[in-house]
Structure 1
């Protein structure tokens, strides 16, 4: 059981232009009318996001928010991207994650590839997945063991990858593998290359198999452990320069962290709105829960924390769109929003009492999924290290 927010008018700050408010309204209506009912139905069953919803997202241009208009995208910025991500996450975190399978996945494409592929990405016809992390290289993404060796005009890949969400349904993978067999222990990031692995949607090519990860949340799609056993790629599958794949992997961190902050905020907002509705209808000791000061203070605290995280995220998105570097601030936004989301969703579950610890109410979904935001796109500990290193210098 879930609740819909009231439609009370909100004051619009100057940075929420008319165009941005319209985009947010469009995304909010789509999320509440089309995504939320599916989430309430499918998440308890560990069901899969239907193709029809993905196709609707393509029709609405959501996969091309960051893609230039010349390639069929909307040509908008990270601010608009985060607005849409928050609204989708308010309904279902997994669908807001699907948003990133189009936007931002074209890094390393040549001009020819951009002209050929980005229009399809913008329509949702060519979506990708990252094959980066490994079982022994979670946050330490420079410590990759998966290898690609040259064999004539081909690359041959051997090794494993972990945490590759959407690998089965994606149209291509961006694979990171070590191409220099002599790893420099002082500079382990050198010698890593990136590859474009094109595949049929819904299957894996020869030389690649996968096992679904048994997750406690983030349902709606599969997350995979991948095994590469002689996968062959053509020489032109290399993305960017050989040996410089690590820089491609980290080039989009600021956008990814802003996007994750937006998703965490959407989850927390869902928990807040569900709690607001619940305390108005639930009675104890002859009066609504909304009349108890302890509950009212919880709601006030939750709303304040959400708004503080949102304003930080807006600031980071604005800085990215202006062309400035903000690795420290992006790490702060991701850290603050994800930690806030876990706290707010936990408070919401507490407000619901025993009912919150059932699958009859969506608050348990918000709580489970919020916990993940502290792990992916860099753990909270990694964000604190980034922040501390910028403030104090590297230890």
Structure 2
């Protein structure tokens, strides 16, 4: 049983296995060569690849058939994610950017839906701030209604794809919270439309200097008396925090799938290298210490994969699964950092060069422990689920 097939097809329907094979072939044939070429020089995802992804249907997975999508579920979505992440995590992430935000008007959804399912209308998400990450209820960016327009002022951080996006969902405080323990009230979400390729007047942007995740840029944004029309408000005023948090179950399972894909890549590349690399007259794959290392990597990947699949199935069943999604995200991301590090170790000195992708998997796996809620945040959610919240701590 090879490292490329072990466990992947467990309890999957024939249609799901077909989707998985399609994503795998696309990732190996069209994504991996670009990743190997562009990542070492900080290159970005080419528009031609995004167009191809739209043609294949990767942006339409969870959109209803009535809206022009494929009408599939979270499990199919993360099957595709896992295979794309095996090639380049940036590409496995961009498929999420086509999901139009909740609260968008019927008219705008009808206007943009066809382009979104083709990957021709992509968005960015702007919640975190330079001093506010995990505690999203503490944001200080403000929006004030001035006649028929909202005026936004403040700084945002970690807004990926903001430059190339067609719109940015921006979270800002529109009223003071009633009490300290209800800081999440008074936060609103705004649909900020823009031309892709730059930023409108009133938004100043600076790209973050990242060590990985290089397929697209991530920005700090400063809003300086930036004006949007009153109808840019998404949903009810002051209820934007709920909208932002409502998507986290899927987002965390999506991250778990990305982590599993990265770890699978590390294992597959390590196996290939170990079978070719000779030491003391033998392939290093014949040495027991290394064989045990590879066996342990495979077991850890499979455990995280099946937990991730279980969380996706729970989402598709309409179950409340915040703790399960957090468990999948925590286990998969922690596993990915360890497995990709082991993969680099098996490559020896070669793994510490950009001639091999082992270092890319390692750099990008480290990020999965941070975004969509750090590992520490996932442990808080899980411990609260088991023990209940500690009284009086607010934490």
- State the TM-score, normalizing by the size of structure 1: 0.96
**Pairwise CA distance, 1:152:** 0.1
Q: Deviations over 1:332-375 (max 9, x none)?
A: 00000000000000111111111111111100000000000000
Counterpart check, 1:346 vs 2:341: yes
CA contact (8 A) 1:255 1:320 kept: yes
CA offsets per residue over residues 66-104 of structure 1, 9 Å max, x none? 11111111111000000000000000011111111113x
| Structure-1 separation of matches of 2:251 and 2:310 | 15
Answer whether contact 2:266 2:343 (CA < 8 A) is retained. yes
* CA separation of 1:88 and 1:8: change in aligned 2, threshold 3 A: closer
Mapped to 1, the partners of 2:282 and 2:118 lie a distance apart of: 51
Partner of 2:70, secondary structure, is coil
Tell me whether 1:194 sits opposite 2:189 in the alignment.
yes
Asked if structure 2 preserves the Cα contact closer than 8 Å seen for 1:106 and 1:114, the reply is no
Alignment partner of 1:49: what SS?
A: coil
What is the match of residue 20 of structure 1? Answer: 16
Give distance in 2, aligned partners of 1:116 and 1:15.
38
Residue 185 of structure 1 deviates from its aligned partner by 2.0
- Distance in structure 2 (CA, Å) of the matches to 1:159 and 1:12: 45
Matched positions, count:
390
* Aligned position for 1:71: 67
Which residue in the other structure is 1:41 paired with?
37
Distance 2:8 2:157 in 1: 42
Q: Report the counterpart of residue 324 of structure 1 in structure 2.
A: 319
| Residues 209/7 of structure 1: CA separation in 2 closer, same or farther (3 Å cut) | same
In structure 1, stretches of 5+ residues that fail to align are none
Counterpart residue number, 2:26 = 30
Distance (whole Å) between structure 1 residues aligned to residue 321 and residue 281 of structure 2: 52
* Distance change in 2, residues 1:108/1:154 (3 Å): same
What's the secondary structure of 1:375's corresponding residue? coil
1:61 to 57, 73, 81: 57
The 8 Å contact of residues 209 and 227 in structure 1, kept in 2 or not, is answered as: yes
Contiguous gaps of at least 5 residues in structure 2: 391-395
- Distance of aligned partners of 1:80 and 1:158 in 2 relative to their CA distance in 1, 3 Å threshold: same
Aligned to 1:298: 293
Cα distance in 2 for partners of 1:380, 1:200 equals 35
- Secondary structure at the aligned position of 1:197 is classed as strand
Match of 1:256 in 2: 251
1:185 correspondence with 2:180: yes
**Distance apart, 1:286 and its partner CA:** 1.1
**Is 1:82 paired with 2:86?**
no
Residues 382-393 of structure 1 correspond to what in structure 2 (within 5 A)?
Answer: 382-393=377-388
How many Å apart are 1:182 and its aligned residue? 5.4
Counterparts of 1:231 and 1:330, CA distance in 2: 36
Q: Which digits, 9 at most, give the CA deviation of each residue in 1:41-66, with x for residues without a partner? A: 00000011110001111111111111
Instruction: Summarize deviations over 1:131-150 as a string: whole Å, max 9, x none.
Output: 11001111011110100000
| Structure 1 counterpart of 2:98, from 75, 99, 102 | 102
Is contact 1:164–1:226 with CA below 8 Å preserved after alignment?
yes
Match of 2:354 among 340, 349, 359: 359
User: What is the CA distance between 1:11 and its match in structure 2?
Assistant: 7.3
Q: Is contact 2:177–2:185 with CA below 8 Å preserved after alignment? A: no
2:7–2:302 Cα contact (<8 Å) kept: no
Going from structure 1 to structure 2, the CA distance change for 1:163 and 1:8 (only over 3 Å counts) comes to closer
Deviation at 1:248, TM superposition (A): 0.3
Alignment partners' CA distance in 1, 2:7 and 2:86 = 20
Match of 2:222, SS state, is: strand
Alpha-carbon RMSD across the aligned residues, in angstroms, is 1.5
Match of 1:281 among 251, 276, 294: 276
Contact 1:67–1:118, Cα closer than 8 Å, also in 2: no
* Structure 2: distance between partners of 1:305 and 1:7: 12
Question: 3-state DSSP class of the match of 2:59?
Answer: helix
Q: Any idea what SS the aligned residue of 1:228 has?
A: strand
Shift of 1:113: 2.6
TM-score when scaled to structure 2? Answer: 0.96
Task: Check conservation: 1:261, 1:313, Cα contact below 8 A.
Answer: yes
Is it true that 1:146 corresponds to 2:134 in the alignment?
Answer: no
Aligned to 2:111: 116
